[in-house]
Amino acid sequence: MNQLPWTDRTFPTDTPLSLFPGFLERLRGTPARLEDRIATLSADLITRRLDEKWSIQENAGHLVEVESLWLGRLDDFAAGLRTLRPAEMTNKRTSHAQYNSRPLPSILSEFRARRGLFVSRLESLDSPARERVAEHPRLKQPMRVVDMMLFASEHDDYHLARVTEMLRCLETGA
């Protein structure tokens, strides 16, 4: 797998506010992109692990779990906190949720519902709310809502790319 590890990535903090609508659409579209990629695959394929890492289905479950972080960070911005809540970097919630034993349609449905709530909250923000700033706890840099949207979009794409890489390996036996 050729991706730079998520925790090694950096992000700009000067994302133009004019990109808000584009990031909103990107976030809105992730459930459809995920469904398109995996909804018709066999349970055997999507629950198989490679290199002791999450399966395809567990990656989908992780996207469900992280929605609470994005919503919580919107709460942090709304409350005027100086620092956004940290992610739980051991991902215990994803690991303990046993996503491989759950039906894929319920995981995809839950992700779509949670993401819909996130997008709805973003759509309801007025201009001053979109311009609030708080420090990202791991990156130690200021972040506005639009910067967080870029971060969340990139996180989605990171996991979608992981799914694609895994499919390629599983289908070719490489």
Domain of residue 58, residue span: 6-172
Structural domain contains residue 117: yes
Residue 14: the pLDDT is 86
Structural domain contains residue 114: yes
Structural domain contains residue 42: yes
H/E run at residue 33: helix 20-38
Count of beta carbons in the 10 Å neighbourhood of residue 4? 9
Secondary structure class of 144 (helix, strand, coil) = strand
- Overall domain count for the chain: 1
Do 54 and 94 form a contact (C-beta atoms < 8 A)? yes
Calculate the alpha carbon distances from 47 to 35, 52, 63, 104, 136 in Å. 15, 12, 15, 10, 33
CATH of the domain at 45: 1.20.120.450
Structural domain contains residue 1: no
Residue 123: the pLDDT is 97
Residue 99's nearest CA partner among 145, 151, 149, 159 is: 159
Backbone angles phi, psi at 52, to 5 degrees: 60, 25
Residue 91: the pLDDT is 82
In the block, residue with structure tokens 């942090």: 76
DSSP 99-142: GGGS-HHHHHHHHHHHHHHHHHHHHT--HHHHT-EEEETTTTEE
In the block, residue with structure tokens 């349970």: 43
Do 45 and 59 form a contact (C-beta atoms < 8 A)? no
Structural domain contains residue 31: yes
Amino acid making up residue 163: V
Q: Tens-of-pLDDT digits for all 174 residues of the chain?
A: 577 777 677 887 889 999 999 999 999 999 999 999 999 999 999 999 998 899 999 999 999 999 999 999 999 999 999 999 999 988 888 888 999 999 999 999 999 999 999 999 999 999 999 999 999 999 999 999 999 999 999 999 999 999 999 999 988 876
- pTM recorded for the entire structure: 0.93
Structural domain contains residue 29: yes
